[in-house]
Structure 1
Amino acid sequence: MRSNFKGNESGPILKGVFMRASNPCTGICRLDEKTGWCLGCGRSRSELDHWRTKSEAWRQRIWKKIPQRLDELGVKCRRFPWTTEEIQNFVLSSLNNCQGTWVMGVVGAVAEFTVVGDAPKLAECTDGMITAFTQNGAIKMLINDDVRALNFDPPNELLRPHVVLAVKRDRGRLPITENVADLGEDVNPLILESAKRVFDLGLGRKEARFCVRVNEGESQKALTRCSGQSFDVALPKISLPLRYDSPTRVVETALGRIEVQGQIPTPNANSPIGPHTHLLPDHLLSERALPVGMELPRAYLPGAIFYPAM
């Protein structure tokens, strides 16, 4: 089913009326001994027990109390009271109105999707699958009932929030590849091109994988020679061919993928305007999935982070 939401109908990032209060649960179910509030969602035992049976107006009132409670508890991870459709609408609005940047990957290996110009070439939602295209890039996200919109900002910064889209761990992880690997032909590319063969660079991370889609050039030859080698061993042998050929970069998470084209800059150069990637071995050593201050409950895998435009 194609969504009838049009991104330009929404002004401020969080403008809109919630259709129905979703469940605030974040996957941490433990009561604070002093306050009696859940350390994950900020509800009391009584509120937890009666959440399904009470009225919608009652649930909305509890939702309004939760931010202050979590602030008192010192809990940073907060769930937005958005239904699945509202998450879809937020994403479409952010894309159509060029309100910020979507990032997928892990610390040290990310793809960034920013719309170039006044509007994307295409942004649509069909059966929960959001796709958007702009100069040198494309993004795809499957937003269904397994996706949660989370935030780690202080309550006074929620007018322009960072939004973390997290995916229930039960939805399934990406295949983990410990070494450079030839994955064969990319059967579901977003950007149609002659290059079809995909290589996983072998970061060995459960949260994301960093791939390149190549044609029969020097990059493919170098990657083929390095197949089976660890990323650290292969990097000195593949970095120059990859920078010279600048093949399409494909970063995937449990939520979807971002594809990036265009010249790969030299290490000390500024990042280009619009979609681009970062592959920084020193930052990968942190082994962090998300930046400092964003600690996901174990029930979720990171999907994407939205950074609002300044």
Structure 2
Amino acid sequence: MRHSPCIGICKLDDATGYCLGCGRTGGEIGDWVAMSESQRDAVWSNLPARLSKLSVRVRLLPWTREELVDWAAETIEARRGTWVTGAPGAVAEFPCTAARTISVEAGSDPIIARAPDAAFRLRLSDKVRAFSFSEGGPIVLGLPKARATIASSSVLQSLGPDRDAIDADHQGQQLFDYGIGRKNSRFCVRTGDDVFASSLAGQSGRHWSEVMATIGMQIISASPNRVVESAAARIEVFAKIPSPGEQSPTGAHTHFLPDFLKSGEEIPSSLAPPDYAAPVAIFYPHESTN
């Protein structure tokens, strides 16, 4: 069944009679539960033009879970752009370009994509919603806030073996939450090197800025896997961490940028979903990828 267009902003525009949140008329809102699927689809087809007339910034897309699964798998298989998860200043990017070798497992749940330098997993429940902000622009996936919260820390913390690793070979390696203090994502490092794991464990309970000041160069030299995840998405990056002054690789990579972390944002303000939802992943089409 297709979900309701409601985004929690329920106010009719005096001039047009359309809701300033979803674009429906008052009658369509009142009759929604009693409508047939074909009637609901007809309303959905009218909403883009109405929302454009209202200059509404954020658009809830009508995709069912099955349609969302098909779309997400196709973005990878057709190499249409880049998937991103994390918070501003602490993100992982999984690019899907024609030049990259990527395999895809696109079953009903989850979608898993693998490349030599990274792995990506996306779990799409029937509560995940897709939001757009411009024609052909980024698509933000969101969950209700209560479902989007992920266990995270504001200091470096050992999480033990990475039992939720995408591949079994990594499930015995040690995972450390780097402590960025976000509700909807966490930035972790993972290692199978016992000596390096001991060094990280010795920093437990310290803010990431103290960790960087103390063993930052050791972290860069060891270049552990970076694991960035939300309640629905996980990107594991295996590529080397660039040394100071080096550029990030053209393939999968992470960004850890202290100045951007100071904002405390969960997502760039220009891509923030409605208040009832929290972001779990972003897809940037090729023309919009930065």
**1:230 paired residue among 207, 230, 233:** 207
Amino acid at match of 2:177: D
The alpha-carbon distance between structure 1 residues 233 and 31, as it changes in their structure 2 partners (threshold 3 A), is farther
Query: d(CA) in 1 for partners of 2:244 and 2:26?
Result: 53
| 3-state secondary structure, aligned to 1:226 | coil
Query: d(CA) in 1 for partners of 2:88 and 2:156?
Result: 19
Matched, 1:70 2:51: yes
Is the CA contact 1:186–1:196 (under 8 Å) kept in the aligned structure 2? yes
Quote the residue 1:109 is aligned against: 90
Structure 1 residue 251, shift from structure 2 partner: 0.3
Query: d(CA) in 1 for partners of 2:216 and 2:17?
Result: 54
Structure 1 residue 220, shift from structure 2 partner: 2.0
Query: d(CA) in 2 for partners of 1:119 and 1:178?
Result: 35
Is the CA contact 2:188–2:226 (under 8 Å) kept in the aligned structure 1? yes
**2:197 paired residue among 220, 227, 241:** 220
Structure 1 residue 262, shift from structure 2 partner: 1.6
Matched, 1:125 2:86: no
Structure 1 residue 41, shift from structure 2 partner: 1.1
The alpha-carbon distance between structure 1 residues 80 and 245, as it changes in their structure 2 partners (threshold 3 A), is same
Number of corresponding residues? 286
State the Cα deviation string for residues 99-145 of structure 1 (Å, max 9, x = none): 11000001000000013655654312334211110121011111021
Quote the residue 1:189 is aligned against: 165
- TM-align CA RMSD: 2.1
Is the CA contact 1:219–1:238 (under 8 Å) kept in the aligned structure 2? no
Query: d(CA) in 2 for partners of 1:30 and 1:170?
Result: 24
Query: d(CA) in 1 for partners of 2:14 and 2:151?
Result: 40
Query: d(CA) in 2 for partners of 1:172 and 1:27?
Result: 17
Quote the residue 1:198 is aligned against: 175
Amino acid at match of 1:53: A
Quote the residue 1:266 is aligned against: 243
| 3-state secondary structure, aligned to 2:33 | coil
Quote the residue 2:9 is aligned against: 28
Quote the residue 1:165 is aligned against: 141
Matched, 1:152 2:133: yes
Instruction: Give the percent of matched residue pairs that are identical in Structure 1 and Structure 2.
Output: 37
Amino acid at match of 1:289: E
Matched, 1:254 2:231: yes
Which region of structure 1 is more displaced relative to structure 2, 130-139 or 232-241? 232-241
Structure 1 residue 21, shift from structure 2 partner: 4.9
Amino acid at match of 1:243: I
Is the CA contact 1:150–1:163 (under 8 Å) kept in the aligned structure 2? yes
| 3-state secondary structure, aligned to 1:102 | strand
Alignment of 1:5-44 (within 5 A): 21-44=2-25
State the Cα deviation string for residues 143-186 of structure 1 (Å, max 9, x = none): 02110011011xxxx2x331111112232511131110000011
Report the TM-score, using the length of structure 2 for normalisation: 0.90
Structure 1 residue 291, shift from structure 2 partner: 1.8
The alpha-carbon distance between structure 1 residues 221 and 304, as it changes in their structure 2 partners (threshold 3 A), is same
Amino acid at match of 1:94: T
Query: d(CA) in 2 for partners of 1:242 and 1:219?
Result: 8
Structure 2: runs of 5+ lacking an equivalent: none
Structure 1: runs of 5+ lacking an equivalent: 1-19
Query: d(CA) in 2 for partners of 1:74 and 1:238?
Result: 49
| 3-state secondary structure, aligned to 2:45 | helix
Structure 1 residue 88, shift from structure 2 partner: 0.4
Matched, 1:53 2:34: yes
The alpha-carbon distance between structure 1 residues 117 and 62, as it changes in their structure 2 partners (threshold 3 A), is closer
Quote the residue 1:16 is aligned against: none
Quote the residue 1:291 is aligned against: 268
Which region of structure 1 is more displaced relative to structure 2, 67-76 or 300-309? 67-76
Query: d(CA) in 2 for partners of 1:293 and 1:70?
Result: 17
